[in-house]
Amino acid sequence: MTGGNKVENTLDRVSDSLRYVLDTRHRISLAVRELQGLLHYGEGNINSVLHLISEQEQVSRTAGFGELSRICEGMQDLLAEIYMQERPLSPSLVADLLSSCEKIRKHADSMAGETSLSEKPSRSSGSRPVTRVLLVDDDRDIQRLMLAYLSGSDIDVTLAENGQAGVRIALVAQANGEPFDVILMDMQMPVMDGCRATKFLRDVGYEGVIIAQTAATLEYDRRKCVDAGCDEYMAKPTSRQTLLDTLSKYLSLSTNAARAKKKS
């Protein structure tokens, strides 16, 4: 196997694992919310839970997690009986379903812990990055996912854990004559959120590309990012191809603008 193929295989393995973790957490969180609503308030959608667990069963089976697939199958049977009113919905039954959700969540958490940032393939010492990206995000799993997506390419990634740190790093880099080509900005972070950080950068004259990343996908959320000064909006977790396509689009624009500026 060639070095390039090894890098690609590592990227695929790390990326697939992290996407599985993030998607599993999202599905299970939604299922738990519905079940807790049923348990505590008598409000919740069993059909929605059934759909989420069915999807999780398919994903777990495809990923080769037989035990989790069997847990999901058992939950599907119970949920189907409840949905068809063949079995009454009791607090003990909901508690059992919540317990099963917790087992699935713990498995995802253990996978996240095993997928270390050190698994990112290292760039050879003789190579030189041609693109600098600042990733501003407090979620370690998203950091791992993005690093896995961007590894193996001529992209150097710097991490910032909140908007305030991102602003500082971006402005220092610009002052040193080494501005970032792109900033990937999460919108929901502690200390300073992405909207405030982006607006601050624009207010002080920062003209670099800023791409918003957020789990919120409503038109209002997109407009809020654009109004703050973001050039683009991406829902997360995004796919590797979407990320690379978006970066290519703006890096091409940045390169053309830089060339035009040199000629003027």
Query: What domains can be seen in the chain, in order of their start residue?
Result: 3-114 (1.20.120.160), 124-263 (3.40.50.2300)
End-to-end CA distance of the chain: 48
From the list 211, 253, 217, 257, the residue with the least C-alpha distance to 235 is 217
* Strand, helix or coil for residue 231: coil
From the list 11, 239, 17, 10, the residue with the least C-alpha distance to 110 is 17
Residue 117's pLDDT band (cuts 50, 70, 90): very low
Amino acid 185: pLDDT: 95
Q: What is the pLDDT of residues 140-159, one digit of tens each?
A: 888 888 888 887 667 889 99
In terms of pTM, does the model score above 0.85? no
Q: Give the long-range contacts of residues 124-132, CB within 8 A, separation 24 or more.
A: 127/154, 128/154, 129/154, 129/155, 129/156, 130/154, 130/155, 131/155, 131/156, 131/181, 131/182, 131/247, 131/251, 132/156, 132/158, 132/173, 132/178, 132/179, 132/180, 132/181
Which residue carries 């790093």 as its tokens?
Answer: 169
Q: Which of 10-24, 47-61, 247-261 has the lowest mean pLDDT?
A: 247-261
User: What average pLDDT is seen over the chain?
Assistant: 79
Amino acid 1: pLDDT: 46
DSSP state at residue 117: G
Residue 201's pLDDT band (cuts 50, 70, 90): very high
Residue 211 has pLDDT above 90, yes or no: yes
Contact 71, 56 (CB under 8 A): no
Residue 121 has pLDDT above 50, yes or no: no
Q: What is the pLDDT of residues 13-44, one digit of tens each?
A: 556 666 777 788 888 888 888 888 887 777 77
